[in-house]
Amino acid sequence: MKNLIVVLYVLFAVSCSKKEKVDTIVINANIYTVNSNFDNAEAFAIKEGKIVAVGNSLEIQARYSPTFINDAKGKTVVPGFIDAHCHFYGLGLQQQKVDLSGTVSFDEVVQRIVDFQKEKNVSYITGRGWDQNDWEIKKFPTKNKLDELFPNTPVAVRRVDGHALLANQAAIDLAGVTVNTPEVGGFILKENGKLTGILIAGPMSLISSRIPPPSKTEQIQALKDAEKICFNLGLSTVDDAGLSKQTIELIDSLQQIGELKMRIYAMVSVSNENIDYYSKKGIIKTDRLNVRSFKAYADGALGSRGAVLKMPYSDKHNHFGALVTPLNDLRKFAEKIAASDYQMNTHAIGDSANYVMLKTYKDVLKGKSDSRWRIEHAQVIDQEDFKYFDNILPSVQPTHATSDMYWAEDRVGAERMKGAYAFKDLLNTYGKVALGTDFPVEKVSPFLTFYAAVARKDLNNYPENGFQMENALTREEALKGMTIWAAYSNFEENEKGSIEVGKMADFVVLDKKYYDH
């Protein structure tokens, strides 16, 4: 037996000597390469983090001597997913807050706060999501129990809509609120001449303005927590839609020392100061970080009627929504960015906000080729304005369609709905569409994006025949939207987004077939 092993080892060594050494080969996989022909393959070889060959299992095994063999046993392999619009750091910060959504009683709220603090031990407990209308006793809660449990740790937790807040005495003391504090733009509830702990609207800022910003340790923890969640769901690149200079520098420093591995396309929050700083510095590009875009906001959201429409809202008389950045400022930002190497990515939801941004982009970009400036969300588009997307890149979030479909028509009416969540029309105009989620506004999972893009249904199979199916994407288009087209929207299509020779070895092994029905 010993001899046999020796002989086999020798044979193995001899045969290996003619093969090229690589780190890993993946074999027996059902690979969607997402190359320009959308070819399938069986195997590929990886060396120093890059794909060095793609082919069938026999050929890859014959040519390469790997340190590791990953036998996919017939499983589906796709390129690592890219979320073209999300709030990665925001997702991480959210992990440091108590999630109180779906609580069925105030006791459950208290229990979740206790459990959270046992695990996280933060110096100031914040959270969101309680809703007394979901409880048996549909009354605003009071702070008494929180005072007993947390006499020295401030607690401030918001209602699900964000417009009411429950604070304990420690938080109230820190804010200096008393029964005599004037109630400006809202209410400070009292019972028998004492504060109940509930603050509504305006006065909430008295409490929230005293919540300390996250410490450096908490910031680092947030980034690591977000990375863990995203890696588990197959994301290998995230486009963070709006980061400060300080957070970008923290990300870079953590990536440099190997503490953060996620690849991040960091959109810089737009301001004159940031444009001056980054346009002078130029594009920042490492294997894991790409800083070459600014994120601006044109309008608000459709749900809260903050999106700007050309004609009034269908469900609010004479209401058009409002720009959150003055048009003059948006124009000046665009002019400055057009004069730099950077890309401009602007949040635009309503048809009017989209129109003014598309026109502004076109005006300032005149003659500049391959700028890839993006409209983020591109949610409600006037039929007349689709044509402007011929060279402006749409970055859309399919789960927004299936989250909003219940009430969107109330806001804009049947006619304007034809140009709403019109992903296929946008794709047909530009030739590509970058897909994302906007997490943590929506869930993180790219699989929900695929489902919303292709089936256009919620998870309860509603509506039975899909929502505005003329704007559904095919499976192939949805996969491209979260891989190669998202990479293109980041100027990274030559380094990622497909399983091809020379690209980064970012890939996902799925436990289900992508084309299963």
| Binding footprint of Zn ion on the chain (CB under 5 A) | 241, 438
**Please, what is the minimum distance in Å from the beta carbon of residue 378 to Zn ion?**
13
Nearer to Zn ion, 172 or 330 (CB): 330
| Residue 77 near residue 508 (C-beta atoms within 8 A) | yes
**Please, what is the minimum distance in Å from the beta carbon of residue 299 to Zn ion?**
13
Rounded to whole angstroms, how far apart are CA atoms 158 and 224? 25
Rounded to whole angstroms, how far apart are CA atoms 495 and 504? 6
How many helices (DSSP H) and strands (DSSP E) are in the chain?
18, 23
**Please, what is the minimum distance in Å from the beta carbon of residue 477 to Zn ion?**
22
DSSP 420: B
**Please, what is the minimum distance in Å from the beta carbon of residue 452 to Zn ion?**
16
Nearer to Zn ion, 93 or 207 (CB): 93
Q: 379: helix, coil or strand? A: coil
Nearer to Zn ion, 66 or 440 (CB): 440
**Please, what is the minimum distance in Å from the beta carbon of residue 297 to Zn ion?**
9
Rounded to whole angstroms, how far apart are CA atoms 517 and 165? 45
User: The dihedral of CA 40, 41, 42, 47: what is its sign?
Assistant: negative
| Residue 223 near residue 240 (C-beta atoms within 8 A) | no
**Please, what is the minimum distance in Å from the beta carbon of residue 98 to Zn ion?**
23
Nearer to Zn ion, 155 or 482 (CB): 482
Nearer to Zn ion, 269 or 314 (CB): 269
Give 90-109 as a DSSP string: HHHHHTTSEE-TT--SHHHH
Rounded to whole angstroms, how far apart are CA atoms 315 and 305? 9
**Please, what is the minimum distance in Å from the beta carbon of residue 438 to Zn ion?**
4
| Residue 379 near residue 421 (C-beta atoms within 8 A) | yes
Nearer to Zn ion, 154 or 300 (CB): 300
**Please, what is the minimum distance in Å from the beta carbon of residue 90 to Zn ion?**
9
Nearer to Zn ion, 87 or 143 (CB): 87
Nearer to Zn ion, 254 or 296 (CB): 296
**Please, what is the minimum distance in Å from the beta carbon of residue 241 to Zn ion?**
5
Nearer to Zn ion, 84 or 156 (CB): 84
Rounded to whole angstroms, how far apart are CA atoms 158 and 151? 19
| Residue 70 near residue 83 (C-beta atoms within 8 A) | no
Q: In terms of C-beta density within 10 A (0-12 exposed, 13-18 middle, 19 or more buried), how is residue 125 classed? A: buried
How crowded is the C-beta side of 447, counted as CA atoms within 13 Å?
Answer: 14
Rounded to whole angstroms, how far apart are CA atoms 17 and 19? 5
Q: Which residues does residue 292 pair with via DSSP β-bridges, in sequence order?
A: none
Rounded to whole angstroms, how far apart are CA atoms 22 and 467? 47
Q: Which residue has the tokens 């048809």?
A: 351
Rounded to whole angstroms, how far apart are CA atoms 491 and 493? 6
Nearer to Zn ion, 42 or 404 (CB): 404
| Residue 380 near residue 302 (C-beta atoms within 8 A) | yes
CB atoms under 10 Å from CB of 119, counted, come to: 7
Nearer to Zn ion, 241 or 486 (CB): 241
**Please, what is the minimum distance in Å from the beta carbon of residue 440 to Zn ion?**
10
Count of residues in the chain:
517
**Please, what is the minimum distance in Å from the beta carbon of residue 359 to Zn ion?**
22
Rounded to whole angstroms, how far apart are CA atoms 254 and 182? 45
17-23-27 Cα angle (round to 5) = 90
| Residue 321 near residue 300 (C-beta atoms within 8 A) | yes
**Please, what is the minimum distance in Å from the beta carbon of residue 408 to Zn ion?**
18
CB atoms under 10 Å from CB of 332, counted, come to: 14
CB atoms under 10 Å from CB of 367, counted, come to: 4
Nearer to Zn ion, 301 or 510 (CB): 301
**Please, what is the minimum distance in Å from the beta carbon of residue 402 to Zn ion?**
17
CB atoms under 10 Å from CB of 138, counted, come to: 9
Nearer to Zn ion, 241 or 330 (CB): 241
